[in-house]
Amino acid sequence: MKNSIKLVALLAIATLTFNSCEKDSGTLPTISFKAGSAYVSTDVTKAVGSSILFGIDAAKSEKRDVLKKFDVSISVNGGTAVSVFTKDLTGNEQDNYSYEYSTLAGSVAGQTCKYTFTVTNRDGLVNQIFSTVTAQ
């Protein structure tokens, strides 16, 4: 009888432990380009050396899965992407984050630069948006 009580107690503890460690699948954080004539929000062709402005809005999609990191990277002519801006988000930035990234179109006609904007939440879930700028 004592052994059966111990076995039932052990099974109950194991069940509670297994259920409490279950990880939720989560929802990706949101990220989008800002709209407006001042911003680039699609793939574009621009004159060599002309100004480009990206506007980014990111937000958590679940109450407790706050934003943790924002990153901007660039890949030139299909090469390896290089991070040009990274920020660990704190305070109010963890709920909603806006950023403007200003740069110049490529320095050589035909050069393509793929800009990747990445946001990561507390669960490590990542969402990205992209824009390719071709210099002419």
Quote the pLDDT of residue 88: 97
Q: Which domain holds residue 74?
A: 26-135
Establish if 106 belongs to a structural domain: yes
Establish if 3 belongs to a structural domain: no
Mean pLDDT for the chain?
A: 88
Q: What is the CATH number of the domain that holds 71?
A: 2.60.40.10
Q: How buried is 119 (Cβ within 10 angstroms: 0-12 exposed, 13-18 middle, 19+ buried)?
A: buried
User: Among residues 33, 93, 41, 92, which one has the least CA distance to residue 69?
Assistant: 93
Task: Please determine, for residue 26, whether its predicted confidence score (pLDDT) is greater than 70.
Answer: yes
Establish if 2 belongs to a structural domain: no
Establish if 33 belongs to a structural domain: yes
Query: What domain count does the chain have?
Result: 1
Q: Would you say the pTM of this structure is higher than 0.95?
A: no
Establish if 9 belongs to a structural domain: no
**pLDDT tens digits, 83-129:** 999 999 999 999 999 999 999 998 899 999 999 999 999 999 999 99
Establish if 10 belongs to a structural domain: no
Read off the amino acid at residue 108: V
Establish if 115 belongs to a structural domain: yes
**pLDDT tens digits, 45-92:** 999 999 999 999 999 998 889 999 999 999 999 999 999 999 999 999
**DSSP conformation letters of 72-85:** EEEEETT---EEEE
Establish if 77 belongs to a structural domain: yes
